[in-house]
A and B are shown apart, each in its own frame.
Chain A
Amino acid sequence: MDRRTFVKGSAAVVGAATLPRTPAQAQAAPDKIRFGYAITQSGPLGPGADSTTVSNYKLWNKLVNDAGGIMLKKFGKKVPIEMVAYDDQGKPDELLKLTERLIQQDKVDMVLSPYATHMNLAQAPIINKYEYPVIMTTATTNKTYELGPRWPYAFWNIAQPREASQPLSKAIADLKKQGKIKGRVAAIYPSVEYGVENNEAFLEAAKKDGLEVVFNKSYAFGASDLQPLIREVMATNPDAFLAFSYPPDTFMLTEQAQILGFNPQFMYVAIGGVFPQYKDKFGNKVNGILVYGPSDPKAPGMDEYAKAHRDLFKQEYEPGGVNVYAALQLTQQAIETVGEIDRKKIRDVIANTTFKTLWGEIKYVKQLNANPWAVGQWQNGELTVIYPADKAGAKPLLFPKPAWS
C-alpha cells in the first residue's frame, strides 16, 4: 500500500466512523479518469493525424474538464479526465508496444483510437484481448464487414467503401432513369488500399444498377501530373466522373480539370474534398462537387464546436474529424450511463444504444456504424450532407454541377 492510498484509506475509516454510511462512500471516487492513445506524430501521416484526430482529443479534453469532468453516478460526482499520449511513428510494432504500455504500465482507464486504416486494424486485436472498448474512427476497408464481429470490443465509425460507393451509383442510375444523364461513367483511383477498394465497390454497384463504365484506370499515388489521365477521360466523353482520390490528388484533379475545361455534370472526389483548405483554394468553383466523409455544419451543437475549435487552435475545424469528436461524445455518454469505469458494461452500452452526437445519430450493428455520413456536396460555398439520403439533415442533390466559371 503506497502512502496516498493509505491516507485515503484512513480518511475513509474516519469518515465511516463519524458519518452515517451511504453507498457513495463505500468506495472513494477516482480523482481522475485517464484516457490513453498512441498515434502517429512523426512521419508522413503526422499532420493528418493531428488535424483529424489529435485536435479533437485535445479539444474534448479541455471542454470536458471545463464542465467539471465526466459524471460517475456511482460516486455521485464529476471526475476530471487526463490524457496519456504516445507517438507510434506510423509503425504497427510501435503501436502494439505502446498500447500495451498504456494498458499495463500506465493503467489507463480507456484507450482511444489511433490514426489511419492499417493502424486501427492493427490495434483491434490487442484492445480486444485486454477488453478495452475502442471506437475506431479512421478505418475504411471492405474487410471490416467480416472483421467487425471478430473483435467485440472494437467499433467502426466511418463509412466503409460499399456505403460510400453505392449511393453514388444509385444517384447516377436515378438521374439516368429521369433522362437527365446518359449514365456514362468514368472512374479513376490511386493505387492505394482506399482507392482500390472503393473503386471495386463502385464497379460492383454500377454493374447492378446497369451503368455504363466507359473509363476505369488507376494512377500512381503521389503522381505529379494528372493531365494526361484527365485528357484520356475527356476523350471518352463521360457525364459522370468519380475519383476515389487522396488529398494531394483531390486538389490536383480539381485544379487540372479546370485548366483543361473538363466539365462533367456529376463529379465526385474522395478524401480531402471536405477540407477547409479545399474551399479556400477553389472558392465557389467547389459548388456541385461531391465529396467523401462529410459532417453536417448545421447539426445542433456545431456552432459551439466550431467556435471552441477556433478559440483553441486558431483555425477552422476539419469536417472529416467530426466523427472523432462524436466517438468521444458517445464514449462519455456510455461511461455516464454505466456510472463507473466498468469496461465490460461500457462496451455493452456502446453496442446497444442509439447515441445523439455532433455527427448525427450513431447506432452500431455488429459493431459497425449502421448509418454514417458517407457523401457530401458543396452547395453555395458550404459543405452539405447528401448521402445516406434518408438520414436526418440530408440535403437534396444539386444537379447538374455548375460549369467552372
Chain B
Amino acid sequence: MLELLRRNWGISALTALGAGLLALVPLFGSNYVLSLFIVLYANVALATAWAFFSGATRYISLATAAFFGVGIYTLAILHVYVSIPLAVVGAAIVGFLVALVVGLSTLRLRGVYFVVFTFGLTELVHQVLNWWEIKINKTVSRYIFTDVSNVNIYETLLAVTLITIVGSWYVSQIRLGFALRAIGEDETVARHTGVNTTRVKILCFALSASVMALVGAVLALRYPYIDASIAFNNTWSFQVLIAALLGGAGRAWGPAMGAVPLVLLSEYLAGSFPHHFSIALGLCFVVIVYFLPGGITRLIERFLHSLKAARAGMGGHG
C-alpha cells in the first residue's frame, strides 16, 4: 500500500486535500447544500461500488436497489435494539451475507441471464419482505426515529464514499483486481491461468453489495417512514448503472465523474422541467452508447494524452 502511494503521490495528495476541503463544507454550507452533497455522495458511492464489480467483470448487475433496500430495512429493524453506528455496520454485514448467498447460487449465470436475474432479485426481496411484514407484523411500514444530524450523515457518507473510491482503486492495483479484469476479458482463460474465478467473483460481488447496503442504511437515517416500495425502488439500479457508464466504469474515479453531473442535472431538471427526468436519463444512455462507450474518463484521458503528445512533439523541435 505504501509503495503504491509513493508511486502515485500526486493523485494521492490531491485526493487527501480534496477530502479535507469537503469535510469542511458543513461549516459553510446551508442544510440544502448538505442535502445536495448527501445525495451526491450516495450516488457516487453506489456507482463506484457497482463499477467495482460490474465494470471489471462485465457482469452487468441490476441488483443495486436490492442491496440498497436490504441496508435500509436492516437499519429500520436494528435501530430499535442497538445503537445507530452498530445498526449501520450491521446493515453492511447483512448486505455482504445476502450477496454471498445470492452470489453462490447465481454467479454461474452469464450475460443476459445474469442481468435478468439481478433485476428479478430486487422484486423477489421486495415481495418476500412484504409478505413477512403483512403476515407477521400486520403492517407494511416501519418508522425510523433518530436524532442524527445532517452534519453527521454528511461526514459519514463522505467517509464511505472516499473509502469506496480509494478501496476500489487499491484493489485494481493488486492481484485481486487483475483477476477481476481477467474474468472480464475472458473467464475461461482466467480460470485456466489459475484464477479461482468463483471465489473472486463472489467475494467482490459481496464487497460491492455491502457498500450498497451501507449507503442505504446511512440514507435511511433521514427517512422517518419506509416501506418495501420505497426501499426497493428500481430507479436506483438504473440510475447507478448509467452514472457509472457515463463516467467510465474502468477507472476508480470514473463513476464519480458520471454520478456528479447526473445528480446536478437531475437537480436542475427537478426545478425547470419536472416531467422530464426519465427522458433525460434515457438520453444520457443513448449518448453513452453512441458517443462515449468509454465514458467521460476515457474522453479526458484521450485529451490529456494528445496534450502530452503535442508537448512531446514541441519538445522534439525545440
Residues of chain A having any CB pair with chain B under 8 Å: 38, 41-43, 46, 84-94, 96-98, 100-101, 103-105, 117-118, 121-122, 124-125, 141, 143, 147, 191-193, 196-197, 200, 218
A88: B residues at CB distance < 8 A: 270
Q: Enumerate B251-297 residues with CB–CB distance to A below 8 Å.
A: 266-267, 269-271, 274-278
Expressed in whole angstroms, the minimum distance between the Cβ of A186 and any Cβ of chain B is: 18
Expressed in whole angstroms, the minimum distance between the Cβ of B225 and any Cβ of chain A is: 4
Residues of chain B having any CB pair with chain A under 8 Å: 30-32, 35-36, 38-39, 42, 130-131, 134, 138-141, 143, 219, 222-227, 229-230, 233, 235, 266-267, 269-271, 274-278
Known: A193-B139, A196-B139. A124 touches B224 (CB 8 A): yes
Cα–Cα, bound, A124→B276 (Å): 27
Q: Do B275 and A87 touch (CB < 8 A)?
A: yes
Expressed in whole angstroms, the minimum distance between the Cβ of A55 and any Cβ of chain B is: 14
Query: Is chain B's binding surface mostly helix, strand, loop or mixed?
Result: helix
**A-B residue pairs in contact (CB < 8 Å), sample of 6:** A43-B235, A91-B233, A97-B32, A105-B32, A143-B141, A192-B229
Q: Do B134 and A191 touch (CB < 8 A)?
A: yes
B269: A residues at CB distance < 8 A: 87
Q: Do A193 and B140 touch (CB < 8 A)?
A: yes
Among A89, A92, A196, the residue within 8 A (CB) of B138 is: A196
Q: Do B32 and A104 touch (CB < 8 A)?
A: yes
Total residue contacts A-B, CB cutoff 8 A: 101
B141: A residues at CB distance < 8 A: 118, 141, 143, 193
Expressed in whole angstroms, the minimum distance between the Cβ of A136 and any Cβ of chain B is: 12
Q: Do A121 and B224 touch (CB < 8 A)?
A: yes
Cα–Cα, bound, A369→B39 (Å): 35
Cα–Cα, bound, A41→B275 (Å): 6
Expressed in whole angstroms, the minimum distance between the Cβ of A326 and any Cβ of chain B is: 24
A42: B residues at CB distance < 8 A: 274-278
Among A86, A92, A104, A192, the residue within 8 A (CB) of B274 is: A86
A196: B residues at CB distance < 8 A: 134, 138-140
Q: Do B143 and A143 touch (CB < 8 A)?
A: yes
Q: Do A200 and B140 touch (CB < 8 A)?
A: no
Cα–Cα, bound, A40→B252 (Å): 34
B275: A residues at CB distance < 8 A: 41-42, 46, 87
Q: Do A87 and B277 touch (CB < 8 A)?
A: yes
Cα–Cα, bound, A38→B271 (Å): 9
For A44, give the chain B residue with the smallest CB separation.
B229
Expressed in whole angstroms, the minimum distance between the Cβ of A278 and any Cβ of chain B is: 24
B233: A residues at CB distance < 8 A: 90-91
Cα–Cα, bound, A196→B100 (Å): 33
B138: A residues at CB distance < 8 A: 196, 200
Cα–Cα, bound, A122→B224 (Å): 6
Q: Do A118 and B225 touch (CB < 8 A)?
A: yes
Q: Do A94 and B134 touch (CB < 8 A)?
A: no
Q: Do B277 and A96 touch (CB < 8 A)?
A: no
Cα–Cα, bound, A143→B30 (Å): 31
Expressed in whole angstroms, the minimum distance between the Cβ of A83 and any Cβ of chain B is: 12
Q: Do B140 and A191 touch (CB < 8 A)?
A: yes
Cα–Cα, bound, A191→B132 (Å): 11
Known: A97-B267, A143-B143. 20 other contacts (CB 8 A): A38-B270, A42-B274, A42-B276, A43-B235, A85-B274, A86-B270, A90-B233, A100-B35, A101-B35, A101-B36, A101-B271, A104-B30, A118-B225, A118-B226, A122-B225, A191-B131, A191-B134, A193-B139, A193-B227, A218-B134
Expressed in whole angstroms, the minimum distance between the Cβ of A245 and any Cβ of chain B is: 15
A218: B residues at CB distance < 8 A: 134
A147: B residues at CB distance < 8 A: 143
Expressed in whole angstroms, the minimum distance between the Cβ of A203 and any Cβ of chain B is: 10
Known: A42-B277, A105-B32, A191-B140. A98 touches B230 (CB 8 A): no
Cα–Cα, bound, A96→B223 (Å): 9
Q: Do B271 and A97 touch (CB < 8 A)?
A: no
For A199, give the chain B residue with the smallest CB separation.
B138
10 smallest A-B Cβ distances: which pairs? A87-B274, A121-B225, A97-B35, A100-B32, A104-B32, A41-B274, A193-B140, A86-B270, A104-B30, A42-B277
